[in-house]
Amino acid sequence: MYRILPFISFLLITVFGFSQNILSDEEQILNSENEILQLAVQDENKRSADYTLTNFSNTIVLVVDLDDDGMEDSWETSNGLDPNDPKDAWTDEDNDQILNLFEFQLETDPNDSSSPSVIEVSPSEASSLDDLIEEAENGIQVIRLSTGNYNTNVLAVYDYNFKLMIQGGWNDDFSFYDPNKYPTYWNGADDETLNVLVPENDDVTNTTVVLDGVNFISSDNFILGGTVGLRFNDGYSAISIYNCSFNFNAHYGLSLGHKGSGDAAEIFIVNTVIGNNGVGGIYTQVTNNALPRWRLINTTINNPNSEEGGIDGLTSTGELRIELTNSINWGNTDYSFNFSTFHNVIIPIVNSNVDEAAPGLDITTTNTISDDPLFEAPMSADWTLTDNSPCIDAGIDVGLPFTGIAPDMGAFETIDLSGITEKNLIELLSISPNPFYDNFSIQIDEAIFGEAEVKIYDLLGKCFLSEKRMISGQFEMKANTLPHGFYMLSLEINGRKYISKILKN
């Protein structure tokens, strides 16, 4: 499958032994004999759409995605979705915790909660991941991971088409999915945590990788690799990375390789953090006329002690398009974008916070800033925004959940405290340790004493703990039954209210 991206007005490629000129100005596709293989109906509005060119026995089929949400119009229509609404990529019709975009990429039924079938894996079964991931070849493999730590390294080499999804963020009995409450950590200390490789092979034409709700941490991979390496040397590839993090790794957080001859790739990186990695955030190589398109949406890239910057790599032939929307690529050493050599790197940035890039790159900006995003505590892996951040309500609505008048930039939405309860006075508490594991201590002015009401809410305003107690000075809270994740602690005493953010590891 060859994806003809919307920003290419003229392209010469070779498919199964013959060349085609794709001439959008003349609205037709010609082979080397100047015979019309397929009329491309492209009016002024449709020129911004996404077109997929597929060869079936020398017959060219042109597939259209007019709302540019990554899902073909015909598939959306047949499954009850709106081909003119890009936001429905981020909804889940059958409530199986697999978004519509992922169902399309996996070629499963978005209206049937039993499709796809899934395999459940707990931390004690981490050693089985190698074989389970390899089994995706010539089929669909969806693997769910319950909360906990997975200490293993996986190398998967595929010689045939495959569709793979790995989804963390499930509780122990797989009855509830929430990556914030039930974090899944994958630590491959000795090498790349997950390395997916497609070598040059004519049998590989269409591949999919979806990573959802997994925190990849503390790997010691080789210098040009990331803790996760996804390298595709043949065929069309679709990659979605959602609600993930790539933090505190020795080299790059993520590595994406595109080396297929004239092949295209669609990459979504959404609600994801790539931070505090030793060499850089993302590394890529684009060669052999490959045509990858990356879409970074509400993603945070912040590697202040790195050597090579936020997004780094080299491109020799082909074209790399990196689109940033509602994202933060800031505070990376050396540059936000840093390519040792580059050829046709196009970077449109919309409603994002990006600081200095290496000279010479083709960058266009719309409603962008380059200010300190004012993270809470990035060196402690807290990239939430402080109340004074210029990134709050500075994004645009793309269909992902948000609070306030508009989405925030970056991977984390700020919390609207007005939905919790009325408040007379908000002050910060002194909490230690924070983050905590089972228990934590609260320090309050010794002049304040009496009966207090203590409540702990999740980020959606659901109350997990509520109790009344007599307090004075410092006291301890037991939270061993609290699921992992971010919370707001509210303490009300003598008509005053104290509120603070807490994190349970």
pLDDT greater than 70 at residue 337: yes
Residue 432 phi/psi, 5-degree rounding, is -150, 135
- Over residues 161-187, the mean pLDDT reads 91
pLDDT greater than 50 at residue 8: no
CB neighbour list of residue 85: distance below 8 Å, 6 or more residues apart: 67, 69
Residue 90 phi/psi, 5-degree rounding, is -105, 15
Q: How confident is the model at residue 224 (pLDDT cuts 50, 70, 90)?
A: low
pLDDT of residue 22: 35
pLDDT of residue 12: 29
Look up the pTM and report it: 0.76
SS3 101: helix
As a whole number, the mean pLDDT across the chain is 82
Q: Take residue 237 and report the two structure tokens written for it.
A: 């590839």
CB neighbour list of residue 108: distance below 8 Å, 6 or more residues apart: 98, 115, 116, 140
pLDDT of residue 56: 31
pLDDT of residue 233: 87
pLDDT greater than 80 at residue 309: yes
Q: Hey, what long-range contacts does 367-372 have (CB within 8 A, 24 or more apart)? A: 367/394, 367/396, 369/394, 370/330, 372/330, 372/331
Q: Rg for the chain (alpha carbons), in Å?
A: 24
Q: Take residue 403 and report the two structure tokens written for it.
A: 């609070």
pLDDT of residue 14: 30
pLDDT greater than 80 at residue 499: no
Contact 442, 452 (CB under 8 A): no
What's the 3-state SS for 393-438? CCCCCCCCCCCCCCCCCCCCCCCCHHHCCCCCCCCCCEEECCCECC
pLDDT of residue 78: 97
Contact 456, 467 (CB under 8 A): no
Q: Which residue has the tokens 């703990």?
A: 465
DSSP symbol at 502: E
Q: How confident is the model at residue 448 (pLDDT cuts 50, 70, 90)?
A: low
Highest mean pLDDT among 24-28, 110-114, 455-459, 472-476: 110-114
pLDDT greater than 90 at residue 428: no
- Evaluate the CA torsion angle 382, 388, 393, 395 in order and state its sign: negative
- Measuring CA to CA, how many Å separate 173 from each of 26, 121, 145, 176, 486? 58, 10, 10, 8, 21
Give the rounded percent of residues in the chain with a pLDDT score beyond 90: 51
The amino acid present at 427, given as its one-letter code, is E
Interatomic CA distance for residues 66 and 86, integer angstroms: 9
Contact 330, 359 (CB under 8 A): no
- Measuring CA to CA, how many Å separate 135 from each of 97, 207, 249, 383? 22, 14, 27, 36
Q: Which residue has the tokens 């499958």?
A: 1
- Evaluate the CA torsion angle 477, 482, 486, 490 in order and state its sign: negative
Q: How confident is the model at residue 417 (pLDDT cuts 50, 70, 90)?
A: low
pLDDT of residue 189: 67
CATH class for the region spanning 417-504 = mainly beta
Choice between 299 and 463, residue whose per-residue pLDDT is larger: 299
Q: Would you kindly state where each structural domain of the chain is located, as residue ranges?
A: 2-65, 118-385, 417-504
Listing from the earlier edge strand, what are the strands of the sheet with 28-31?
10-15, 18-23, 28-31, 36-39
